[in-house]
Amino acid sequence: MNRNKRYYKNSKVVDRYSRLDGLQGPEQAFLDMYRERLTGLRLLDLGVGGGRTTLPFCSHAGEYVGVDYSQEMVHACNRRYRDLPNAMFEVGDARSLPQFPDGHFGAVLFSYNGIDEVPAEDRRRVLDEMHRLLAPSGVFFFSSHNLNFMSRLFAASFWSGPRRYLMLRAINRGRRPLGQDFGLFDDGWQNLRFRMDTYYISPQHQFKQLQEAGFDGIRAFSVESGREYEGLEDLRSSVEPWIYYLCTRP
């Protein structure tokens, strides 16, 4: 088992995620945009964690399926949402979900950067699987860490104290993907414990990956303000920690 998965099976982590609620700005914007359409749809909430997004989306979707590769997270959701008639929770891995047939879902949500915990070499498998699971005109909405944030993270940790900065540098020595569009970092966000490998990608490269996997109508939203970016030029100057992407399976 890789260390990311081990992290999400930890009881303290499960407990923390189970107490989260409230939507991030772009999630609320997505819900507002698709509220009417969701009523008749099956929605997959992938990497559902402790169910932060369950109630708002479940109450609008025709059918709601929460999936996570951590059995402990799925148990927590089952405990938290015993009485929701149109919701079910299952253990499954985003890289391969053979329990669902082609075109089974009208919308897939992979919120709060869950896709960035997948090993880099398997990221394309996830995108292909989402494409397979979506019906024509189905939408995929997810967030991913922004490679352009790295310089801001190093600067912020420098000013927050030498210990954090030096640890961040030491742990990530040799990881900076010079001249590339993505890389794995241990950003130490989890209380300086440095327990996860997290994928960071430039917005331009994220657009390219989605196009190569067959998605179109790609849009991007700011996690900090919720506003929609006006295309790749606008995104180029973004240094926020992660970005939400919305795209369509033609």
Ligand X SMILES: C[S@@+](CC[C@H](N)C(=O)[O-])C[C@H]1O[C@@H](n2cnc3c(N)ncnc32)[C@H](O)[C@@H]1O
Q: Convert residues 119-158 into a mask of x (bound to ligand X by CB under 6 A) and - (unbound).
A: ----------------------------------------
Q: Under the criterion CB under 6 A, does residue 182 sit at the interface with ligand X? A: no
Q: Under the criterion CB under 6 A, does residue 69 sit at the interface with ligand X? A: yes
Q: Would you say 66 or 183 has its CB closer to ligand X?
A: 66
Show the 3-state SS of the chain: CCHHHHHHHCHHHHHHHHCCCCCCHHHHHHHHHHHHHHCCCEEEEECCCCCCCHHHHHCCCCEEEEEECCHHHHHHHHHHCCCCCCEEEEECECCECCCCCCCCEEEEEECCCHHHHCCHHHHHHHHHHHHHHEEEEEEEEEEEEEHHHHHHHHHHHHHHCHHHHHHHHHHCCCCCCCCCCEEEECCCCCCCCCCCCEEEECHHHHHHHHHHCCCEEEEEEECCCCCECCCHHHHHCCCCCEEEEEEECC
238 is written with which tokens? 């973004």
Q: Which of 26, 106, 114, 203 binds ligand X (CB under 6 A)?
A: 114
Least Å distance, CB 13 to ligand X, is 8
Least Å distance, CB 117 to ligand X, is 4
Please count the residues of this chain forming the interface with ligand X, following the rule CB under 6 A.
Answer: 22
Q: Which of 3, 15, 20, 40 binds ligand X (CB under 6 A)?
A: 20
Question: Near ligand X by CB under 6 A, which window of 28-36, 67-75, 196-204, 211-219?
Answer: 67-75
CA–CA dist 239, 198 (Å, integer): 17
Q: Which of 30, 105, 112, 242 binds ligand X (CB under 6 A)?
A: 112
Least Å distance, CB 111 to ligand X, is 4
CA–CA dist 162, 14 (Å, integer): 31
Q: Would you say 120 or 155 has its CB closer to ligand X?
A: 120
Q: Under the criterion CB under 6 A, does residue 188 sit at the interface with ligand X? A: no
Question: Near ligand X by CB under 6 A, which window of 32-40, 105-113, 155-163, 235-243?
Answer: 105-113
Residues within window 70-99 making contact with ligand X, judged by CB under 6 A: 70, 73, 93-95
Give the footprint of ligand X on this chain (CB under 6 A): 8, 17, 20, 46-49, 52-53, 68-70, 73, 93-95, 111-114, 117-118
